Amino acid sequence: MAKFKGAIVVDNEKCKGCGLCVVACPTKVIELNPNVNGKGYHYAWMKNPDDCIGCASCGLVCPDSVISVYKMSVQS
């Protein structure tokens, strides 16, 4: 059965750390990074990258459009 693997790329310097992507993620992949960016915001990052399914929910709710979503099918 084909399975999907996803990944996100966050523009760290533009992320404002609002956390809306964290609650939007259905597989609890995203968390706010303990480190801060140049403006002092805790930016979003993939804490559990293996669970990402590339659904793009995070990208849809991101107010600053800093998330790009990638998705590829893999054979299990």
Partner 1 sequence: MSHIQDITKPEHLVYRKTPLLTDNIMHYCPGCTHGVVHKLVGEVIEELNIQDQAIGVSPVGCSVLAYNYLDIDWAQAAHGRAPAVATGISRLHPEKYVFTYQGDGDLASIGCAEIMHACSRGENIVVIFINNAIYGMTGGQMAPTTLLGQVTATTPYGRDPKLNGFPMKITELLAQLDGTCYVTRQSADTPGAVRKAKNAIKKAFQNTRLRKGTSFVEIVGTCNSGWKMTPVDANTWMRENMFPKYPLGDIKDI
Binding residues vs partner 1 (CB under 8 A): 5-7, 9, 14, 16-20, 22-24, 41, 46, 49, 54-57, 59-72, 74
At its nearest, how many Å lie between partner 1 and the CB of residue 22? 8
Residue number, 34 or 63, with CB nearest to partner 1: 63
Residue number, 33 or 46, with CB nearest to partner 1: 46
Residue number, 23 or 28, with CB nearest to partner 1: 23
- Which amino acid is it at 73? S
Task: Work out the widest C-alpha separation in the chain, in whole angstroms.
Answer: 44
At its nearest, how many Å lie between partner 1 and the CB of residue 2? 13
Confirm if 49 and 72 have CB atoms less than 8 A apart.
no
Characterize 49-71 residue by residue with b for buried, 16 or more Cβ atoms within 10 angstroms of its Cβ, and e for exposed. Answer: eeebebbbbbbeebeeebbebee
